[in-house]
Amino acid sequence: MSNILVTGANGQLGSEINALSGFYPHYTFTFANRNTLDLSNLCKLEDYFDTNTFDVIINCAAYTAVDKAESEEELANAINHRAVSLLAKISKKKNISLIHVSTDYVFDGKNFSPYIETDPTDPQGVYGRTKRDGENAILDVAPKNTLIIRTSWVYSSFGANFVKTMLRLGKERNSLGIIFDQVGTPTYARDLAKAILDILPQINTAIPKIYHYSNEGCASWYDFAKAIFELSNIQCTLNPITTDQYPTPATRPHYSLLNKAKIKEEFGITIPYWRDSLKECLKELGEEQ
């Protein structure tokens, strides 16, 4: 039986893994949130693994406030980079398998075809840069049985996210302006959680490997919002706007489609279409019509 530590337990992905954990009775799960395991405190992080034994770490913890990161670079770096580097060293020292979740923000968003794992990274902001540095730290330490999984546009029935924001605003307002010139793929955190748990028994690698996972298909934020309103029967007019009409402190990738061929071929997983998964999430939220 494998003892699995899930960090970032109160986040979207950590919460979804928790919700699915009962379907994997051969695993023993420990769910750690920032109160029980503060990744920004490196001394306590190391002590934690001196008093607890695990076979696998699924690192869902991250500093994800993309705009706020521009003014809180030190904290973002502590969680997304330095803590990840220490987790990699602990994994190597104690022979613990590691799955680390990363992001499409490591790319510059200027591609014209879906990014593959070996494409050059060029993050455009603090969040993406600290996540890229976390990836590189893992690659430098090189613990065995380690996977880095990049994902994009994550939403869930848990936590705060675009779907919940649109549901709220759609009921409060008559019209909304939504960006249409940023293209990617919405990812239902439950699908990613299931993929991670299904992949676990197959991990056998001498060096860290990078994979991409998002739902299938593509959409702009406008398309995503339109689907949310259609499936939940919300009568709110959506107006497409450009990125420069909605300025933010951090630069968002204009194009962040991820090629998932590698993870599908190597682990034999099937990935649902984004709109089908959105329906499932809306059912969980009691909003699907």
Could you list the active site residues? Answer: 127
CB-based contact 281:188 (threshold 8 Å): yes
Q: Which is nearest to 79 in space by CA: 117, 37, 108?
A: 37
**Positive or negative torsion for Cα 212, 213, 216, 217:** negative
d(CA 106, CA 100): 14
Q: What are phi and psi of 218, to 5 degrees?
A: -145, 160
C-alpha dihedral (239, 106, 41, 250), degrees to nearest 10 = -40
Name the nearest CA neighbour of 224 among 274, 260, 161: 274
User: Do strands 2-7 and 56-59 pair parallel, antiparallel, or not at all (unpaired)?
Assistant: parallel
Tell me which residue of 245, 224, 252, 229 sits closest to 177, measured CA to CA.
245
Give the N- to C-terminal CA distance of the chain in Å, as an integer: 41
